[in-house]
Structure 1
Amino acid sequence: MKDQQIETSDQFAVRQAKLEELRGKGIDPFRTNWDQTHTSAEAAGAWIEDEENSPVVSCAGRLVAIRKMGKASFARILDRAGTLQIYMKKDIVGEEAYDLFKKSLDLGDFIGMRGTLFKTKTGEITLRVQEFSLVSKSLRPLPEKWHGLQDDDQIYRQRYLDLISNEDSRKVFQTRSKIIRCIRNYLESKDFTEVETPILTSEAGGAAARPFTTHFNALDCPFYLRIALELYLKRLLVAGMDRVFEIGRNFRNEGLSRRHNPEFTMLEVYQAYSDYRGMMELIHGMVQAICEEVLGTTKITRYDETVIELGGEWREARYKDLIIEKTGDPEWFSRSKEEKLAWCEEEEIEVDPNREDFEVTNAVFEKRIEPTLIQPTFVTHVPKELVPLAKISPDDPDTVEVFELCINGQEIAPAYSEQNDPAVQRQQLERQAGEEQQKIDEDFLLALEHGMPPAGGMGVGIDRLIIMLTGVPSIRDVILFPSLKPIPKDQ
């Protein structure tokens, strides 16, 4: 690493000298603009067989490959649409310009160029440059072409270099953008309205999670970065906005792992006069629309070559049945907490003995069952203690009308038949507040007392969904700039 830093420092000095030389010749190495008429893909699409009448195109991009020869050179530029080969000939651009290209330009520089298109003997559409200009000088070298960034920490800290050198990484984030656009289009086609709710809140509600706390100077009181979108969106159901959704950031001051980032993107959607089964239909249709419109397939290949099939019907299984199947104990739910803890110890499942009985059972689900649910599975009838904002199941008063959609070994989307009885909701929130040492959002309960229609509600972890749909191994691979510990200043 130290030798690499010295080498980088040497190249920086060489490029800095080139920069000063350019300025000495009256050349601005950082232009204001370039009239770009075509992206690389559009230029390739503009090629015609009759090369003598080839249209003139104007492109711009970063030099990522240069093959300098005598009186002619080939190079390759990278722009938002991909790459394009360019051909630079001394007789066409002129001696002075060609000398500038050979002696003063480096990999990483941005150039603008105009010219016509032709096809090489190997069949590659190429831009024959008639004129070009350096538009921005790169003072530091790019990662090696064939290897890119190899260190995970550097990939996440210097994502811009990763995106330059790693086509697969670029495709993941381009796919992410398309997936989110598809979600918006799908929900709008179902007559949902996109809304925005506060990120800074006076109460951290809607989930059992530790918030990030700040101080609102103008109001002289503590505020929190939201941990969920839910409570404000349900206020809008009270207001008569029967179908609403929001895609936004949530913040939870908790752990970091390959599945967790403290800052993450959620979709929450609420539909009046529906329930958790209506949400099943919604998420099933939405994911299959993404498969059709963005991916072109319902089969997703994971990083370990496992294939996930998202087509057809999805499995449905009750939470209790999965627990009994895993433990092999039909009487599990009538056992004492101590008996359950003893079983967990035998199975080497770490559980805090001070946890509530239902939390011990849920540890079995999260650590032994959920990771095995690779194919799409609706886990229904979850214990009521886990979800205080949902309606009690009429056929089992110990559970709530909830599903957790698990795919790829993790929860992708929980959904509820939303609780709209203000008295029952208060009881549930008071119980949760006592366990989690949280305050109750009285303003939300006040809104509920004005009447909220029956509704289905759902949250979709966008980052986890994209992990699954793109087949990458970690949440950090789908977040452009994931949370990282700062590098000490002395390093």
Structure 2
Amino acid sequence: MPETRFNRLEQARLEKAEVLRGLGLAPYGLRFDPSHRHAELQRLHADLANGQERDERVSVAGRVMTRRVMGKLAFFTLLDETGPIQLFIEKATLAAALPDQPEAFAQLTTLVDSGDWIGVSGSLRRTDRGELSVKVTDWQMLSKALQPLPDKWHGLADVEKRYRQRYLDLVVSPQTRETFRRRALLVSGIRRWLDERQFLEIETPVLNAEAGGAEARPFTTHHNTLDLPLVLRIATELHLKRLVVGGFERVYELGRIFRNEGVSTRHNPEFTTVEIYQAYTDYTDMMALTEELIATVCQQVCGTTVIEYQGTTIDLTPPWRRATMHELVEQATGLDFNGFSSREQAAEAMAAVGLEVPDAADSVGRLLNEAFEQRVEESLIQPIFVTDYPVEISPLARAHRSKPGLVERFELFIVGRETANAFSELIDPLDQRRRLEAQQERRIAGDLEAHGVDEDFLHALEVGMPPTGGLGIGIDRLAMLLTDSPSIRDVIAFPLLRPEAPPPVG
């Protein structure tokens, strides 16, 4: 009985699967041993001249992307992970190679559809037009695809469908496959760079009793057995610092972070960071580390440190520009925040130059940050370390050694986006307690991104933490840069999306 939930094209594929079974050819294979992949064959046989054959037996496997059948000859395009390779299918060749299967050519050309996975064996031939091909002498169905491939995927206006059905996007878009290949190389390159410098990757908990390490609203959950309310981590910072207290001098973790916040081209609730902590260093050391790390992985992934992003040339060759937040705001607005003695004075000056003055920005330092975000941030296209932030927005950073009211912190901006954040870490347990208590007061007052006092973390600081530099890098935003991707959802394989609306009834 036919499956009524399948349309006509899908039903035809089901029927072909049954025909294969009837012929003793399983439509869903168990295994296959490819001898080569596309890229390897192209490299090994680059010297094969047009119109020539090479009597070397090879086996390849992949998804059938295109089919052209012309009487007793057919050309299929087979796609493996490294690229497409052409199959040269000749009726006479198959008949000679498979004398006990006189219908092999007809079966291959009528029962195999685009989208199917097959494995083939044969010799190599370069066509008169210069296309390296496998001259097929044997074939095997590996998986019968019931869904046809999209006809005009690249012309689809529904970009969200590419995110929702990423598997189809990967099948038909070489650019998407290259994006995720580069992202994988980026991640492995960062790990390799850190491991070679004696950093240890140590995993920290995803479930926490208290959110900390950033100003962000957490996701909440509940442990049934312990009857314990928990939150998903918004940063790995506080546990990695505990490891430094315990005696590890170089630690990092590259992993998932969860923040219950808005979704945009640069924000996703689930994202990836690497946080790095090194004892006996400060934020100036972290600048040097950041430059070398990012420039190195950029060279490895892109082959250069001068790249194109959305039509703009970005030069990641160190050294990068350094400027304080105060300097950049004064250049953009004419306002010298060092001269404001009160919040009211700063607010009046901001309003006079057309800046918004949010009520939540309740200090000169917070207003400075507002001015920076409104007038400076998006203009920072080439890599720049913005340094010396207000203490009010940096509860975990060490007080600046020579500038009262500021902390030793930098953020790296590239193409108008924060890409990295680093501190000379605050190791004074009494100062840290005061900062966390101030955060807790903001939380009680209704700030959903502020957090409470983590007593265990404070106890760890009281045990003693050496001077330490800490750094966090957003992997997704860095991947956007190195793959020329305009949206964060382009570099997250399966981004969070709203459920699709059910089809209308009737």
TM range (shorter): over 0.9
Distance 1:15 1:471 in 2: 38
Aligned-residue offset at 1:44: 2.5
Is 1:380 equivalent to 2:380 in the alignment? no
Aligned-residue offset at 1:359: 3.0
Aligned-residue offset at 1:490: 4.2
SS at match of 2:105: helix
Q: 1:149–1:161: 8 Å Cα contact kept in structure 2? A: no
Q: Which residue of 2 aligns with 1:459?
A: 472
Aligned-residue offset at 1:146: 6.7
Count of residues in correspondence between the two structures: 484
Q: Which residue of 2 aligns with 1:469?
A: 482
Equivalent position to 2:494, from 471, 481, 485: 481
Equivalent position to 1:439, from 452, 460, 476: 452
Cα distance, 1:369–1:178 mapped onto 2, change above 3 Å: same
Letter in 1 for 2:383: P
Aligned-residue offset at 1:368: 1.9
Q: TM-score, normalised by structure 2?
A: 0.91
Q: Which residue of 2 aligns with 1:428?
A: 435
1:64-88 CA deviation, whole Å, 9 max, x = no partner? 1111111111111111111111111
Equivalent position to 2:258, from 251, 260, 278: 251
- Decide which moves more: 425-434 or 269-278: 425-434
Distance 1:470 1:314 in 2: 21
1:279-302 CA deviation, whole Å, 9 max, x = no partner? 111110011111222211111211
Q: Which residue of 2 aligns with 1:30?
A: 28
Q: 1:267–1:459: 8 Å Cα contact kept in structure 2? A: yes
1:220-269 CA deviation, whole Å, 9 max, x = no partner? 11011100000000000011110001000000001100000000000000
Q: Which residue of 2 aligns with 1:70?
A: 71
Q: 2:66–2:114: 8 Å Cα contact kept in structure 1? A: yes
Letter in 2 for 1:311: T
Distance 1:238 1:25 in 2: 68
Letter in 2 for 1:162: D
Cα distance, 1:260–1:68 mapped onto 2, change above 3 Å: same
Is 1:39 equivalent to 2:40 in the alignment? no
Aligned-residue offset at 1:22: 2.3
Cα distance, 1:278–1:69 mapped onto 2, change above 3 Å: same
Q: 1:202–1:223: 8 Å Cα contact kept in structure 2? A: yes
Letter in 2 for 1:42: E
Cα distance, 1:41–1:145 mapped onto 2, change above 3 Å: farther
Q: Which residue of 1 aligns with 2:275?
A: 268
Could you tell me which runs of 5 or more consecutive residues in structure 1 were left unpaired when the two chains were aligned.
1-7
Aligned-residue offset at 1:475: 0.4
Equivalent position to 2:218, from 211, 235, 242: 211
Equivalent position to 1:301, from 308, 319, 329: 308
- Decide which moves more: 371-380 or 147-156: 147-156
- Decide which moves more: 359-368 or 312-321: 359-368
Q: Which residue of 2 aligns with 1:328?
A: 334
Letter in 1 for 2:19: E
SS at match of 2:281: coil
Q: 2:292–2:318: 8 Å Cα contact kept in structure 1? A: no
1:299-349 CA deviation, whole Å, 9 max, x = no partner? 12112x111111132100001111122221235750654455456556665
Q: 2:53–2:126: 8 Å Cα contact kept in structure 1? A: no
Q: 2:323–2:387: 8 Å Cα contact kept in structure 1? A: yes
What fraction of aligned residue pairs are identical, expressed as a percent? 45
Q: TM-score, normalised by structure 1?
A: 0.94
Distance 1:147 1:415 in 2: 40
Q: 2:295–2:318: 8 Å Cα contact kept in structure 1? A: no
Q: 1:276–1:456: 8 Å Cα contact kept in structure 2? A: yes
Aligned-residue offset at 1:353: 2.0
Letter in 2 for 1:476: R
Cα distance, 1:474–1:330 mapped onto 2, change above 3 Å: same
Q: 1:211–1:225: 8 Å Cα contact kept in structure 2? A: yes
